[in-house]
Amino acid sequence: MTDVHTPHRPAPPNALLGRWLLVVAAFSLLLLAACSGDEDNGTATSTATEVGATETATGTATGTATGTATATGTAAPAGQYSLAPGGSPTPAATEAAAGGDAQQMSLQANIGSEAPQDLVDEWNIDIDPDGTGLWDAQGSVSAGADVFQANCARCHGPDGAGTDLAPQLVLGPDMEPGPWQFGAPRTVANYWPYLTTYIDYIHRAMPFDNPGSLSEEDVYSVVAWILNQNGMIDDNATLDPDSIMQMNELPNYPSFFPCYPDECRPEPALRGNDQ
Amino acid sequence: MSDDRNLLPHIPVGPNSLLSRRRLLQAGGAVAGGLALSRITRAGAQQPPPAPNELVPPPDPPWSAQGQPFTTQGIRSPYVEIQRAYSGGDSPNVTRQTAGSNFAPLQDLDGIITPSDLHFQRNHSGTTIIDPAEHQVLVHGMVDRPKVYSMDDIKRFPRRTEIHFLECSGNSGAGYSGPSPDTTAQLMHGLTSTSEWGGVPMTTIMQDVGVQEGAEWALFEGADASRMDRSVPRSKLEDDAMLVYIQNGEPIRPEQGFPLRLLLPGWEGNTQIKWLRRIEFGSGPFYTKEETRHYTDALPDGQSRQFTYEMEVKSLITWPSAGHQVPAPGFWEINGIAWSGFGTITGVEVSVDGGNSWGPAELMQPVLPKAHVRFRFPWVWDGTPRVIMSRATDDTGYTQPARQRLLDIRGTQYIYHFDAIQPWLVDADGAVTNAMGQSASDLPSDTQISEEYL
């Protein structure tokens, strides 16, 4: 026996009161709307200037290629076309853009600017497992020791063992690099699959409070020192794109398996409602 | 309407009533006050005059005096204590204050929408404040037309609005190691929130730049200090991904990625890059730190799952939950939330007897895909110790498992995607604690809880 009950809903006794209050609330809203007027005008167009200029420049360039004559200049006022995906456009919308729906109209409107190559070069910082993004430089374990003590030790500890401010980077002396074992701490020596990812991350995000402050050479050096402390490279080893790619698949690399596109979950034993 | 008195049942009326005109106006509202007054006078005229000793008015409570002036920002009642809790605690150190989690107060919330100022946070290097006028979004890589958009540009695209939950994939992770009895719904499950999001579908951007054949993945990257980045497969981008800049009717908050973030309905929060500044299309995954070192799920045999994207079906009772006090035996309405990243919740069952029997809860409207759903369940508590819990099922047929069944497969080092049933202990004195991770022998014997839920 349990005290499980079927849900039931008696009509609330104050339904009428509630409805009346709603009416009052609606009245007040009307009043408020009438009072607030159009104070908001005047700020809407303030942010377009700089980008707007480049937009015009590229707009004409690409406009000939993609834009139809009808789409530019005579923007359909909001409300004259349907935003519902697949919804059939009103006659006004059809007139404004031969293409039809709002999405087509926007695509013909030349929104945005051509990406300047120097912006792409500056922002395209990711280093991929095929080596794309690695820069030409050389780092050494000995130089890395200095870089680490100067820039990393205060959070990760002088030996990279971690503190309560930042995670452990170096396995303990009694642990060997190798595939991750259940319960072990996780470092570059036993968990990270790719060295390129490790370099990418330190380059993009460390030192935590001043990311991007290390030179490209210093990044390779500090990584070399961390690998050395983890027992992965010799004291006199150097890191450059070649040596990085030679050891790019790290000891735990074989342990990862993807659950996309073939989903691993829910695990068969957890399927169904049979508990 | 048969009886006008029904309209204002709490206001004493009569020919000699000392009900002040001011109070009447407050109760009725300025607009309808005059109308209400005349109705009351007519209704009151039919009543006998009150006896003299009824003429002493009750003292006005202090809040009936002059109220607070208007403010430009809304306030929460000072009587309502409702706040986030962050993992850094009192630590003054910058890393503890900027890399970590801020939990939404699930036990104090109702409905499905999370107030924006209480939305959970998971930051890896603080909340960054971006000037939207300066912000640019670069789209490049395997596209025909590499482009850069200003925020004004982004807002010109046709927009879409949808209600979805966001959840950190480490949410509820304490379930792997076992929480302590005082671990609340907030600290256990508070890394999930639901909002109405508005923005532009990713497919529009993809058509605008002309994504090339073979570009099966894209890298999304933030402008914050950690330059957080994740790879997203094209199929998801074409399915329901959006770039969002509106959250609950206002510009998205800095803590959720102002001025622009990626929204991938149902997927783990970490993939949904905040402060978005760069999208690069490529042929394969980019293997960023957060899809290799972190957000991969380590199994007992040492293998790790990668690209586990959807948040599985989950539910929990938010009232009563740990830290609450059930005032007395008798009728109480249990309520809670359920959600699934795989689809739509089709049912929630509640047990108030440690899982020996389950009854269907009522799903309150709206029931939306990949959004929190609120459920309720009437309960007459008999005053004995009880373990109460909920389990949800979604339209893929997946039902939340008992904790031990999940641990049998995933072990205790999996960290992410914990979605087992949450048991709460209601003790005989009405105090509620977290029963997960306790041993059955430590719980009152009449709860009859099966060990598999603990």
Q: What are the boundaries of each domain within chain A?
A: 83-114, 123-263
For B169-184, what is each residue's pLDDT tens digit?
Answer: 999 999 999 999 999 9
* pLDDT band at B446; cut points 50, 70, 90: confident
**In this predicted model, which residue has the larger pLDDT, B42 or B428?**
B428
Domain ends where: B253, B277, B305? B305
A90 vs B361, higher pLDDT = B361
- B191 lies in which domain range? 121-305
Q: How many domains would you assign to chain B? A: 3
**Chain centre distance of CA B182:** 21
Which residues in chain A are contacts of B359 at CB distance < 8 A? 2, 4-6
Question: Is the torsion defined by CA of B337, B342, B348, B349 positive or negative?
Answer: negative
Q: Is the pLDDT of residue A255 over 90?
A: yes
Multiple choice CATH, A123-263, 3.40.50.300, 3.30.365.10, 1.10.760.10, 3.30.70.1230: 1.10.760.10
Count of other CB atoms within 10 angstroms of residue A72: 15
Q: What's the whole-number average pLDDT of chain B?
A: 90
Residues B140 and B215 in one domain: yes
Q: Give domain status of residue B56, yes or no.
A: no
Residue A61: its H or E element = helix A49-66
One domain for residues B145 and B254: yes
Q: Convert the pLDDT of each residue in B24-38 to its tens digit.
A: 334 333 333 333 333
- Per-residue pLDDT at B52: 59
Distance, in Å, from the CA atom of B41 to the CA atom of B55, rounded to the nearest integer, reads 17
**For A106, which of B157, B282, B308 is closest by C-beta distance?**
B157
Domain containing residue B137: CATH number: 3.90.420.10
pLDDT band at B441 (very low <50, low <70, confident <90, very high): very high
pLDDT in tens, B311-359: 999 999 999 999 999 999 999 999 999 999 999 999 999 999 999 999 9
Same domain, B271 and B333: no
Classify residue B416 by burial, with Cβ atoms within 10 Å: 0-12, 13-18, 19+: buried
Res B70: pLDDT: 95
Confidence check: pLDDT of A2 > 90: no
| Chain B hits for A196, Cβ within 8 Å | 287
Q: Chain A contact for B305, CB < 8 A? A: yes
Chain A positions touching B403 (Cβ under 8 A) are none
Q: Same domain for B290 and B408?
A: no
Torsion angle of C-alpha atoms B282, B284, B285, B286, degrees rounded to 10 = -50
Lowest mean pLDDT among A16-30, A115-129, B127-141, B438-452: A16-30
Listed in sequence order, the residues at least 6 apart from B93 whose beta carbon sits closer than 8 Å to its beta carbon are A165
Cβ-based neighbour number of residue A203 at 10 Å: 22
Same domain (yes/no): B449, B357:
yes
Are the beta carbons of A256 and B304 separated by less than 8 Å?
yes
Pick the last residue of a domain from B305, B329, B350. B305
Helix (H, G, I), strand (E, B) or coil at B18: coil
B252, B272, B305 - which closes a domain: B305
* Cβ neighbours for A31, distance < 8 A, ≥ 6 positions apart: B31
What is the four-CA torsion angle of A231, A234, A235, A236, rounded to 10 degrees?
A: -160
What does the radius of gyration of chain A's CA atoms come to, in whole angstroms? 31
Residue A37's pLDDT band (cuts 50, 70, 90): very low
- Quick one: B161 and B265 in the same domain? yes
CA-nearest of B187, B403, B184 to B314 is B403
Summarize chain B as % helix, strand, coil (round to 5): 20, 30, 50
Q: Residue B305 and residue A259: Cβ atoms within 8 Å?
A: yes
Length of chain A: 275
Lookup: tokens for A136: 């030409």
The pLDDT of residue B256 is 98
CATH number of residue B390's parent domain: 2.60.40.650
Pairwise pLDDT comparison (B10 vs B348), residue with the higher score: B348
Measured in angstroms, the CA of B31 and the nearest CA of chain A are apart by: 7
Beta carbons of A166 and B95 less than 8 angstroms apart? yes
> Is the pLDDT assigned to residue B150 strictly greater than 90?
yes
**Has residue B102 been placed in a domain?**
no
State residue A95's pLDDT score. 47
Q: Which residues of B144-178 are buried (b: 16+ CB within 10 A; e: fewer)?
A: ebbbbbbbbbbbebbbbebbbbbbbbbbbbbbbee
Same-domain status, B286 and B175: yes
Asked if A143 contacts A216 with a C-beta cutoff of 8 angstroms, the reply is: no
3-state secondary structure B334-403: EEEEEECCCCCEEEEEEECCCCCCCEECEECCCCCCCCCEEEEEEEEECCCCEEEEEEEEECCCCECCCH
Residues B251 and B339 both lie in one domain: no
Instruction: Tell me, yes or no, whether B296 and B351 share the same domain.
Output: no
Phi, psi of B372 (to 5 degrees): -60, 145
